[in-house]
Amino acid sequence: MDTLREILSPNFLLRNSIYISLLVGLVCPLVGVYLTLRRLIFMGVALPQISSCGVAFAFSLQAWGIIPHLHEREHGLAFIGSTLFTLPTILVLALMARRGGGSVEGRLGTVYVLAGAWSILLLVTNPLGEHGLLDMLKGEIIAISNGDLMWTAGSFGAVVLTLFLFRKEFLLVSFDREMAITLQKNVVFWDALLFLLIGLAISMAVLSVGPLVAFGFLLIPPLTAHLFARNMRQFALLASGIGGATALVGFCLAYRWDYPVGPTDVALLGVVYFLSFAVKKFWGFCSQATGRG
C-alpha cells in the first residue's frame, strides 16, 4: 500500500511513466478487442515490430544526414516513422486477408521476422542507437516529458473517442460484412478507419512501452475478458479494466522490487490470464456438477 501511495503521489518522480503505463493498459485492449474478434491476433505481433522498424528507420535518416537532427523533437520523429510504416502495412495486410488466398500466418510471420531483422540492422548502423533509440525500442518508460505525455494522451483519447462513437458501424462491418453492404454501408471506408485507429494506437503504444509490452496489452486482456464476457459492452470494459489494473499493479511491483516495468506487466498479464482460465474451468465444472445433481 505504501508503494501504491508513493506512486500515486503528485510529487512522484516517475509520475508521467505511470500515467503512460495506465494509458497503454487501458487503451491497447480496446484496440485488441477488434484484432481478437477479426482473428487478426498475429497482426498484433507483426505491427508493433513494424512500428519499431519505422522508428529505427526515422532515426537512421537522421544518422545518415538525410534529415537534420531534432534533439527536442525526437518523440515526434519517432511517431512519424512508426506511423508511416504501420499504417500502410496494416492496410495492405488487411486487404490481403480480406481477399483470401495464401497463408495469412505466413505473411504475418514474414513481416514480423523481416521487421525485426531490419530494426536490428538499422540500430547497429546508427550511432544514436547506443543512446536513446535502444531504450525507446525496449520500451523504457523512465523519462517521459510532459509534452510526450500530453501527445500520447491526446492520440489515445482520439482513438477511444472514435472507437466509441462509431462502435456500431465497426461492429457491423466486422461481424457481418454482407449485411453491412445490404444496409448501404461503405464497408471499405469503415474497415480503413478501423485499421487506421489500430495502427495509430499501436504506433503510440510502441513509442511508449516498446513492441513486447504493446503486443502483451493488445492480446492478453481481450483474451482474458473473452472468457467471461456475455456481450460486447462487457467485453470491451472488462478488457480495458484488466489492462488498466494490470498496468498499475505491474508498475507497483516493478518499482517495489526494481524490475523492468514492461516485462513485469506482461508476466503479470500472463498470471491473470491463467488464473482466469482456471476460474472459468472450475466454474464450468461446478455448473455441470450442480446440473447433474
Q: Could you say whether residue 98 binds another protein (CB under 8 A)?
A: no
By three-state DSSP, how is residue 258 classified?
A: coil
Plot region of 39 (φ>0 → left; ψ -120 to 50 → alpha; else → beta): left
Q: Could you say whether residue 288 binds another protein (CB under 8 A)?
A: no
Nearer to another protein, 132 or 162 (CB): 162
Length of the chain: 293
Binding to another protein in span 101-140, by CB under 8 A:
none
Binding to another protein in span 204-223, by CB under 8 A:
none
Q: What CA–CA distance (Å, rounded) separates 62 from 69?
A: 6
Q: What CA–CA distance (Å, rounded) separates 213 from 34?
A: 18
> Which of residues 19, 151, 166, 259 is near another protein by CB under 8 A?
166
Q: Could you say whether residue 39 binds another protein (CB under 8 A)?
A: yes
> Which of residues 217, 235, 251, 273 is near another protein by CB under 8 A?
235
Least distance from another protein to the Cβ atom of residue 236, Å: 10
Q: Could you say whether residue 172 binds another protein (CB under 8 A)?
A: yes
- Tell me the Cα Rg of the chain: 20
28: which 3 cell numbers? 491497447
> Which of residues 64, 88, 175, 271 is near another protein by CB under 8 A?
175
Q: What CA–CA distance (Å, rounded) separates 225 from 228?
A: 6
Q: What CA–CA distance (Å, rounded) separates 205 from 156?
A: 9
Nearer to another protein, 149 or 196 (CB): 196
164: which 3 cell numbers? 466509441
Q: What CA–CA distance (Å, rounded) separates 187 from 206?
A: 28
Binding to another protein in span 56-85, by CB under 8 A:
none
231: which 3 cell numbers? 456481450
CA nearest 3: which of 254, 261, 251, 256? 256
**Segment near another protein (CB under 8 A); pick from 10-18, 161-169, 244-252, 272-280:** 161-169
Least distance from another protein to the Cβ atom of residue 190, Å: 8
Q: Could you say whether residue 37 binds another protein (CB under 8 A)?
A: yes
Q: What CA–CA distance (Å, rounded) separates 71 from 59?
A: 11
> Which of residues 4, 61, 229, 253 is near another protein by CB under 8 A?
229
> Which of residues 16, 21, 36, 52 is near another protein by CB under 8 A?
36
- Report the interface residues with another protein, using CB under 8 A: 36-37, 39, 165-166, 168-169, 171-172, 174-176, 178-185, 226, 229-232, 234-235
